[in-house]
Structure 1
Amino acid sequence: MRSGRSTRGRTALMRATALAGALQVLLPNPAAARLTQMELARVAVAPPPDARAPLDLAFTEADGERAVTLAAVAGGRPVLLLPVDYTCGNVCDPMLSLSAAALEATGLVAGRDYGFVLVGLDPRDGAAAARRMLAADLGAAPSPVRPRALVGTAAAVDTLTRALGYGYVPDPGTDSIAHPAAAILLTPEGRVARILSPLALNGRDLRLALVEAGEGRTGSLGDRLALLCYGFDAARGIYTPLVRRILAVAGVATVLGIGLLVLLLARAGRVRRA
């Protein structure tokens, strides 16, 4: 029963995060879009219970154009996964640059403490399109935080997005894709740990999220102690101090303890008088 409540709570938390307004939906040009309201309603992030990425899925890495699996890319580390449209003309570019900046601000080391992965949603976009996006947003020079950009077949992309509960809709009229602006944080085993807004990430919160998703394999002892005093605010998509809550609980426990002590002393006095 406890594990069931935990799973339901974790799922509710992720869905609340996805629906709280922190995750913007990237839509095609409204003047040319032909998507119906019913189609747009499918554009959302709603991971099923215990959602996890199939780590045996094969993709092609843009740099070097070699075949890799998600397991090889993850390498036993927590992974920040960004589903993107490599030819997106809306917010995919700032999604990438802001996520890279937040990851650099964590102080963690890419490739050692975490993985940073892009997956193209449009199977028609090949490795060249992914490399153009990386060069435009992050520059051609080597960077301490450079994602591994993957392209895949329609079947591989569909399998991954279905497993993660990530809904998107292609718009043939504008040759673009309506999709959520969401970063999916995976544990080393591929389980969905958090749904984050890549447009509102900061180094502190992202570090704590990576440490939490790493399940003891990432970060320092101080980070793990900090998680005892911080909690994830699903509505705001950030970690907030729980000190007030802890103090409130401690205060109630103190009052109850004093009340119990007074009651025991009163009973002891009546026994002695008798």
Structure 2
Amino acid sequence: MRRAIVLLALALWPGLAHAGLTEQQIGRVGFDPLQDARVPLSLKFRAIGGDTVTLRDAIDGRPTLLLPADFTCKQICGPALTIASAALQQTGLVAGRDYSLVVVGIDPRDTIDDARRFTQGQIGGAGTSVLTGSQQALAALLGAIGYRTEIDGKHDAIAHPAAFVTLAPDGRVVRGLSSLALQPGDLRLALLEAGDGRIGGLSGRVALLCYGFDPVHGIYTRRITTVLQIFGASTVAIMAALVGFMLVRSRRRGASA
């Protein structure tokens, strides 16, 4: 709940003071991916080039950064895309080879021209998809990742979390991160985990192993849990051996005295 409130405040600032939403409506906005959440890969969207594509086509078998955005937003979405684009360039990973970037417009009223204006000069090229969709497709996608919005009809705006998710190639939600408090290292590791350590080389796999805590669900990944259990058992065994050695040594000193 606290994460949702923080993300909501970021998404609505600085327009919060003039928002046309009620307190109850604002309370419904949030970002809360469920454990084992998975996006429907068969959902159909319209790409920026005008073609109809499925989410499976956009992901294209790679770990994916899925960034929901309001293409006509005048506040947070533009800077969020700039931050994400800059962070991706600093990860050392290559779009179209190591990962896919999927930017989805959260407002079904947005057009392809809106999408072009929003993303122009910031993202593009291989492995990048900018999508618009119907109300039904967007509801299914956003619902799958626990991303809840509210329309402010008075100001023709949408209140939404400033957040994105990384997806495994099979559509499984791996991580959820703030799109404003984003560091290149965190993004790289999130994509590495989404790829199950198969991208980024040996150093990436080592980093992934050291970064197995899942902040979305508050649990350690299965692989890290196993490593921690082995490490914990080894530590207990070593401590027990040291205590035993000290006891034996102490008894021998007592006997010799």
Q: Classify the TM-score, shorter chain.
A: 0.7 to 0.9
Aligned pairs, how many? Answer: 240
Q: Quote how far apart the aligned CAs of 1:128 are.
A: 0.5
1:143/1:123 CA distance change after superposition, 3 Å: closer
Q: Please name the residue that 1:206 is paired with.
A: 187
Residues in 2 aligned to 1:44 and 1:258: alpha-carbon distance in whole angstroms: 51
1:31/1:45 CA distance change after superposition, 3 Å: closer
Q: Give the alignment of 1:222-237 within 5 angstroms.
A: 222-232=203-213, 234=215
1:72/1:60 CA distance change after superposition, 3 Å: same
Secondary structure of 1:123 counterpart: coil
Which of 39, 42, 47 is the matching residue for 1:61? 47
| TM-score, reference length from structure 1 | 0.77
Q: Is the 8 A contact 2:105 2:132 kept in 1?
A: yes
Question: Are positions 1:76 and 2:61 aligned together?
Answer: yes
Q: Is the 8 A contact 1:80 1:184 kept in 2?
A: yes
Question: Are positions 1:159 and 2:152 aligned together?
Answer: no
1:143/1:160 CA distance change after superposition, 3 Å: closer
Identical positions, percent: 45
Residues in 2 aligned to 1:19 and 1:31: alpha-carbon distance in whole angstroms: 19
1:56/1:218 CA distance change after superposition, 3 Å: same
Q: Quote how far apart the aligned CAs of 1:220 are.
A: 0.8
Deviations 1:213-241 (A, max 9, x none): 10133211111112233454849x9xxxx
Q: Is the 8 A contact 1:79 1:114 kept in 2?
A: yes
Q: Is the 8 A contact 1:23 1:196 kept in 2?
A: no
Listed as ranges, the gaps of 5+ residues in structure 2 are 219-223, 253-257
Q: Quote how far apart the aligned CAs of 1:263 are.
A: 4.8
Q: CA RMSD in A?
A: 3.1
Q: Is the 8 A contact 1:25 1:43 kept in 2?
A: no
Listed as ranges, the gaps of 5+ residues in structure 1 are 1-14, 270-274
Q: Please name the residue that 1:8 is paired with.
A: none
Deviations 1:157-206 (A, max 9, x none): 01111111100001110000000000111111111111111112222221
Secondary structure of 1:258 counterpart: helix
Residues in 2 aligned to 1:157 and 1:79: alpha-carbon distance in whole angstroms: 17
Secondary structure of 2:28 counterpart: coil
Question: Are positions 1:260 and 2:244 aligned together?
Answer: yes
Q: What amino acid does structure 1 have at the position aligned with 2:71?
A: Y
Deviations 1:99-156 (A, max 9, x none): 0111110011101111111111111111110000112x62xxx866884110000000
Which of 21, 36, 61 is the matching residue for 1:50? 36
| TM-score, reference length from structure 2 | 0.82
Q: Please name the residue that 1:86 is paired with.
A: 71
Q: Is the 8 A contact 1:32 1:173 kept in 2?
A: no
